[in-house]
Amino acid sequence: MPVKALFKPFHLGTLELPTRVVMAPMTRSFSPGGVPNSKVIEYYRRRAAAGVGLIITEGTTVGHKASNGYPNVPHFYGEAALAGWKKVVDAVHAEGGKIVPQLWHVGSVRRIGTEPDASVPGYGPSEKVKEGQVVVHGMTKQDIQDVIAAFAQAARDARSIGMDGVEIHGAHGYLIDQFFWEGSNQRTDEYGGNLANRSRFAIELIQAVRAAVGEGFPIIFRFSQWKQQDYTARLVQTPEALGEFLKPLADAGVDIFHCSTRRFWEPEFDGSELNLAGWTRKLTGKPTITVGSVGLDGEFLQFMVNTDKVAQPASLEKLLERLNNDEFDLVAVGRALLVDPDWAQKVRDGREEDILPFSREALMTLV
């Protein structure tokens, strides 16, 4: 199957990508104090130089006191962090690439003791008390508005420093997804109950981001069926329910849906070979990004624990067949790009034998 489909330009409004290859967002934790440094700048520059059309940064925390859940992840607020991201933007643009930040709030995943303020518990749709201590603060309506305002400000800052759009992280059991998921959203007000109500927070947040950046500035929304807490979870069970879930998000201002799956080749629903990105494109008419073990023979869960397993480069034939059939528009590559900054160039040149395998050791450094 010819690889040229991966290297055709993509156009959507003001967003013009030189290739269909997207760097998936991957938490790296190499930004002490929340500020991207020279190593981070070079990390992203190398991928743009080697043919990645769109870089979606690692998750960057918005300006809310409970947004962070991990040490050394970058902020997307404050003068120093934004100055660091401006250098990243300039380096990527100099290589002909495009870049958007993934805007992130971890919600109830946060634990007491986490930076920057160790006294702040997680924030989530519903309160959780353990041994008499509030470990998850149930968000008030004012809290909801504060978080929405933080996302809107981050998007405004992204545009001001030259980012090419923003991605809103609505997947994987973090805050926005916690509102979607019935298991974590036990609210009885207008933000809880049925899925339409549980989607209200995300819809209002997307609307606020759109108002902050204006028309024409691309908004990507990442969502998933699976959760960190439950890899077999399914938010919706049928294509009809998926369409009902996605349409209000699209109407609120989403331009591109980033459809997170563990294995891109798996059908999302019985009776069709379409994956989640394929169904999303069909149901919304919006461009979609597919993702999930692209270019490797082992999916990421194998590497979430200490292991000596190695994921070897894998054939792209099934992926290219789906891309050529217009099942989806863009292809996000995660671990294969993390370990090998020249992955896209090697694929384009037919040098698959030179692509590096992935192991947990790759997580220890930025290359």
Catalytic, 174? Answer yes
SS (H, E, C) the chain: CCHHHHHCCEEECCEEECCCEEECCCCCCCCHHHCCCHHHHHHHHHHHHCCCCEEEEEEEECCCCCCCCCCCCCECCCHHHHHHHHHHHHHHHHCCCEEEEEEECCHHHCCCCCCCCCCCCEEECCCEEECCEEEEEECCHHHHHHHHHHHHHHHHHHHHCCCCCEEEECCECCHHHHHHCCCCCCCCCCCCCCHHHHCHHHHHHHHHHHHHHCCCCCEEEEEECCECCCCCCCCCCCHHHHHHHHHHHHHHCCCEEEEECCCCCCCCCCCCCCCHHHHHHHHHCCCEEECCCCCECCCHHHHCCCCCCCECECCCHHHHHHHHCCCCCEEEECHHHHHCCCHHHHHHCCCHHHCCCECHHHHHCCC
Q: Which amino acid is at 30?
A: F
Which one of 43, 44, 77, 174 is the catalytic residue? Answer: 174
| Residues belonging to the active site | 174
